[in-house]
Amino acid sequence: QSALTQPPSASGSPGQSVTISCSGTSNDIGAYNYVSWYQHPPGKAPKLVIYDVNKRPSGVPDRFSGSKSGNVASLTVSGLQTDDEADYHCTSFAGTHNWVFGGGTKLTVL
Amino acid sequence: EVQLVQSGAEVKKPGESLRISCKGFGYNFFGYWIGWVRQMPGKGLEWMGIIYPDSSSPIYSPSFQGQVTMSVDKSINAAYLQWSSLEASDTAMYYCARWGGPTLTSLYFDYWGQGALVTVSS
């Protein structure tokens, strides 16, 4: 069982927006603004899309945005494209030299 | 171009030992932490630990402390993940990744290896 809780699946049509939640505790998400999100297409390596809750690495389109409220972090993908179809994994800092992941959410673009 | 190239798939029996590798190309290998991430079949990602090549100092996730050993060979820009006695539950895809963030806070793996599938079966 993963430390962070994500819905197993999410879906949306091209052009729509979808939000994926990631629920933690006051020891991880609630304690720090150090949440990252990874996009993991089938058969490929994961790719960092959000870090520090809401920052995008260079090259990640602004269709990807992150937020946090209390112990819950969220990733929103706007203007859905077929290329966005992938598993999305959240992770949070949980104290010195410790990080926890969610179980992943499979995003389907209908 | 930054690349992390991992060794190939492995099929092992329970009780056997194994070492998989991750070689870095196109950047200063000594200046970045290298991490290892496990994905068991049908499951999410799990952070296993990180190692700083310059000092060969590993930091293990509490879940993996004592279960695996991380090391580096500075002469060939390679990082290794090693098991002394595999179990069926070690069957998984293992990724290495470069820590590209400025601090060890948000988990910031900016480049990843292609993954190495380890299958442990009698």
Tokens coding B84: 């002394």
Which pLDDT belongs to residue B104? Answer: 84
pLDDT, one tens digit per residue, over B18-41 is: 999 999 999 999 899 999 999 999
For residue A69, give how far its alpha carbon lies from the nearest alpha carbon of chain B (Å). Answer: 17
Chain A: residue nearest B40 by CA?
A103
Q: What's the CA gap between A12 and A109, in Å, rounded?
A: 5
**Distances, alpha carbon A10 to alpha carbons A20, B8, B23, in Å:** 7, 33, 36
Nearest to B45 among A32, A51, A101 (CB): A101
Interchain proximity A99–B47, CB inside 8 Å:
yes
Q: For residue A9, give every residue at least 6 positions away whose Cβ sits within 8 Å of its Cβ, in sequence order, or none.
A: A105, A106, A107, A108
Q: Which of B61, B107, B114 sits opposite A36 (nearest CB)?
A: B107
- Indicate yes or no: CB of B107 within 8 angstroms of CB of A51: yes
Residue B100, CB-side half-sphere exposure with 13 Å CA sphere: 18
**Cβ-defined contact of A2 to B44 (cutoff 8 Å):** yes
Confidence of residue B82 (pLDDT cuts 50, 70, 90): very high
A32, A45, A100 member nearest B112 (Cβ) = A45
* pLDDT range class, residue B103, cuts 50, 70, 90: confident
d(CA A101, nearest CA chain B) in Å? 6
Percent of chain A residues past pLDDT 90, beyond the cut: 91
Structure tokens at B113: 């290896």
The span from the CA of A101 to the CA of A91, in Å, is 4
Tokens for B60, please give them.
Answer: 């293990």
Q: Residue A68: what pLDDT?
A: 98
- Predicted local distance difference test score (pLDDT) of residue B102: 82
With CB atoms and an 8 Å threshold, state whether B45 touches A91.
yes
Strand-pairing partners, residue A2, are: none
pLDDT score recorded for residue A97: 86
What is d(CA B14, CA B57) in angstroms, rounded to the nearest whole number? 28
**Mean pLDDT on A73-86:** 97
Pick A57's closest partner by Cβ from B43, B110, B115. B110
In this prediction, residue B88 carries a pLDDT of: 97
Please indicate whether, in this complex, the C-beta atoms of B45 and A40 are within 8 angstroms of each other. Answer: yes
Distance from CA of A66 to the nearest CA of B (A): 13
User: Within a 10 A sphere around the Cβ of A59, how many other Cβ atoms?
Assistant: 8
Contact B44 A103 (CB under 8 A): yes
CA distance B29 to A94: 27
Q: What CA–CA distance (Å, rounded) separates B49 from B91?
A: 18
